[in-house]
Amino acid sequence: MKRTFGRRLGQAMGAATVAGFALTLSLPAEAQRGGGGEPAPLPREFFEDRLDRQGDTMVFCVNEDSMMADFERDLAQEIGNALLLNVEIFDVNPRRPTPPLDYRLPLIPEELFLVLVDDCNAMFGFALSSGYRDYIMFTRPYMETEYSVVVTSEQYDALTDIPRDERIGTRTMSNGDTALRTYMATLPEDRRWRRSVYFDNEILLERVSDGTIPAAIVWDPAIYYATDGDPEGAGFRLLPLPIDQSPTNIGLTMLAGDNFVRTTIDDAIELLTADGTVHDLMVRHNLAPAE
């Protein structure tokens, strides 16, 4: 199911309200706060009316360009089963390409707002971190993921085995890059590697494979997805980072104020995580190891 952004906005709320909200979202974050600049939450009646119209159906948005799209479609169905609800999937087709082997969503705030108002109750694929606008909120995570050191050489059994005059690859603005920089800050300057920063995980794996760099810090689901669930079969070895890292948690987002939907989805995610359904789906879609 595909629709253009905001095609049915007039059915959901007044065009003037949407235009004003979208205009506010385009301002810098500091300009949105104080003096009445903070976007007001949508009225409770908006969410109640949508639930009345949908009946026993919940609509989930999925970025069809994402490596996790098929997994998220299946997870949406499982959430519906757990809640005894029918499920509809709205495939979002972003105007800009999604970075390969990544979870980042290439939607600007205005586009995300229009999608959540017009097309679905909740959208998959958001890293649960600070820095988002206040007009959205998040569920509990359905994926809790980490990063690994990826090498091809048999002579390395730990990151510290790699000569200090080599470069270590990372994906820009990732938790993996943060973990590496944090670890290197604990080392004397003459014991630190140089970082080679790339824009996406696909390039990182290519550079390790072709020998440009001896190692890279890569998001675990990206490694398994790129290798059909078998990194060793593709010639990669995974080593642990030598420092505690903050997990990269992935959840759903919805409009702030849609508390009933968030609580309902949270309950389903908790159940599906506890009974192993989420992990089984991740394994089936080559996002995690079988063990």
Look at residues 122, 25, 45, 19 and name the one whose alpha carbon lies nearest to residue 76.
122
Query: Integer distance in angstroms from the first to the last C-alpha of the chain?
Result: 35
Q: Is residue 72 part of a domain?
A: yes
pLDDT of residue 41: 66
Q: Across-strand partners of 60?
A: 89, 122
Tokens of 163: 């000569």
Residue 270 shares a structural domain with residue 140: yes
Q: Taking the C-alpha atoms of 10, 12, 16 and 19 in order, what is their torsion angle to the nearest 10 degrees?
A: -90
Contact between 121 and 12 under an 8 Å Cβ cutoff? The reply is no
pLDDT of residue 37: 43
Collect the ranges in the chain with pLDDT lower than 50.
Answer: 3-38
- Cα distance between residue 251 and residue 9, in whole Å: 25
Residue 221 shares a structural domain with residue 182: yes
The total number of structural domains in the chain stands at: 2
Residue 224, domain CATH: 3.40.190.10
The domain in which residue 215 lies consists of 147-239
pLDDT of residue 23: 42
Q: How many CB atoms lie within 10 A of CB 189?
A: 7
Q: Across-strand partners of 156?
A: none
Residue 20 shares a structural domain with residue 107: yes
pLDDT of residue 40: 57
Spatial CB neighbours of 188, under 8 Å, sequence gap ≥ 6: none
Q: What is the pTM of this model?
A: 0.84
Residue 174 shares a structural domain with residue 82: no
pLDDT of residue 246: 86
Residue type at 51 in one-letter notation: L
3-state secondary structure of 233: helix
Residue 56 shares a structural domain with residue 106: yes
Q: Report pLDDT digits (tens) over 37-95.
A: 445 567 777 877 887 788 899 999 999 999 999 999 999 999 999 999 999 999 998 88
Residue 233 shares a structural domain with residue 252: no
Spatial CB neighbours of 285, under 8 Å, sequence gap ≥ 6: 68, 70, 71, 74, 225
